[in-house]
Amino acid sequence: MKYYIISGEASGDLHGANLMKALQKQDPKAEFRFWGGDLMQAVGGTLVKHYRDLAFMGFVEVLLNLRTILKNISFCKKDIQAFQPDAIVFIDYPGFNLRIAKWAKQQGFPTHYYISPQIWAWKENRIKDIKKSVDEMYVILPFEKDFYEEKHHFPVHFVGHPLIDAIANRIPVDPEPFKQTHQLDSRPIIALLPGSRKQEVSKMLQVMLTVTDTFQEYQFVIAGAPSLDAEFYTPFIQKKNVHLLLNKTYDLLSVASAAVVTSGTATLETALFKVPEVVCYKGSRISYEIAKRVIDLEYISLVNLILDKPAVTELIQENFTTETLTEALRNILDEYHRATLFLDYYDLEKALGGKGASEKTARLIFEKVSSE
């Protein structure tokens, strides 16, 4: 079978790669053509566009790059027509993927959506397009199944969260050799996960790095995003007590004592590694003001959304300052607060449905494609 897969971010590249591996087990003759990144490319097939060329964040940034986005949409349609896949698999990335899904459905291509757009957070009216354009939806958060089926009467498959597999399948890291290999000293580590896009990383690190002098008994290590090169981070690691590790986020989390994390998938990854965290976000003023008016959620982190309570501290926009971050870090470095948070993390993992998300999704996709 021929599979055309579209992911537009680093997390989608990870989940796309694991899905491709699982599809190969179901379908040894699987042929892949995809938009993604290095992890998907390592599995095999043809990489059409790399996600580093697709990452535009915020309302203003999307408008400024609208011409490029429209060109990519046009190119994608032509590429799919030329490939004639047996199934198209969309991975999150809704602004782009829902446009392609609508067109693909009209052209008669089977459409499978893995990792739902977060329409429960905003743009709930997208459910109309999803019902018309998506043949099969595979959701990874427990509350999404109720949202789709009970509220909108659209059947979906809850497959569990693929991060559980991605983390469980890792080779364990020994902290001391890890520190020596990467020229770190013996002090405990506070990991900084500022995001993956240039404007996001710059804005977040400006505040994150203001607390390094306060916690000199710790060393701060920035998790460099795979989409950014080392030179980009050079101005940020001039500060004393700050280090950079590229493409080692999971290894870093496995040895970290605490973390400061930009809101997004990384908040869930950090929790699954059982690392106490502070969740932060600071966007452009215009993007934030628009988002505040269209997003109706009590929390911004997936951890708190899934648990439906403020398990981890969230510092947003004006509340993300040196003073608030210092206080929040002191809290999660306190043993009592850490013990409470570990219990919440245990509940979180249970709620996510256990291992096997990639395998479940691959089996369902292959069975559906084979029956058509």
> Which tokens hold the place of 141?
């958060």
Same domain, 153 and 102: yes
**DSSP-assigned beta bridge partners for residue 36:** 50
How many of the other CB atoms lie within 10 Å of CB of 197? 21
User: Does 57 share its domain with 145?
Assistant: yes
**155 in the same domain as 255:** no
Burial 49-88 (b: 16+ CB within 10 A, else e): bbbbebbbbbbbbeeeeeeebeebeeebeeebeebebbbb
Which ranges of 27-151 does DSSP label H, i.e. alpha helix? 38-43, 59-64, 66-83, 94-107, 127-133, 142-146
Q: Which DSSP letter does residue 171 get?
A: P
**Any idea what DSSP says for residue 110?**
-
CA–CA distance from 65 to each of 62, 72, 100, 179, 183 (Å)?
5, 11, 18, 41, 40
Give residue 133's domain range.
2-160+356-371
Q: Are 100 and 91 in contact (CB under 8 A)?
A: no
Tell me, yes or no, whether 365 and 299 share the same domain: no
137 and 237 in a single domain? The answer is no
- Residue 208: predicted pLDDT: 97
- CA-CA distance, 139 to 137, in Å (whole number)? 6
- Same domain membership, residue 212 and residue 116: no
Check whether residue 39 and residue 99 sit in a common domain: yes
Environment class of 329 (CB within 10 Å of its CB; exposed 0-12, middle 13-18, buried 19+) = buried
| Single-letter amino acid, residue 68 | T
Examine the domain organization and report whether 193 and 278 are in the same domain.
yes
278 — phi, psi (to 5°)?
A: -115, 130
Question: Can you give the CATH number for the domain in which 232 is found?
Answer: 3.40.50.2000
pLDDT given at position 107: 97
Between CA 270 and CA 147 the distance in angstroms is 25
Domain co-membership, 151 together with 177: no
Q: Tens-of-pLDDT digits for all 372 residues of the chain?
A: 999 999 988 889 999 999 999 999 999 999 999 999 999 999 999 999 999 877 555 444 555 566 777 888 999 999 999 999 999 999 999 989 999 999 999 999 999 999 999 898 888 999 999 999 999 999 999 999 999 999 999 999 999 999 998 888 888 899 999 999 999 999 999 999 999 888 889 999 999 999 999 999 999 999 998 878 999 999 999 888 999 999 999 999 999 999 999 998 899 999 999 999 999 998 766 555 555 555 667 888 999 999 999 999 999 989 999 999 999 999 999 999 999 999 999 999 999 988 899 999 999 999 999 997
Same domain, 10 and 115: yes
Q: Domain check: are 272 and 243 in the same one?
A: yes
Q: What is the pLDDT of residue 297?
A: 73
Nearest to 275 by CA among 293, 252, 298, 291: 252
Q: What Rg, from alpha-carbon coordinates, does the chain have?
A: 21
The reply to whether 179 and 125 lie within a common domain is no
What letter represents residue 277's amino acid?
E
**The length of the chain, given as a count of residues:** 372
Q: How many domains does one find in the chain?
A: 2
- Measured distance CA(314)–CA(278) in Å, rounded: 6
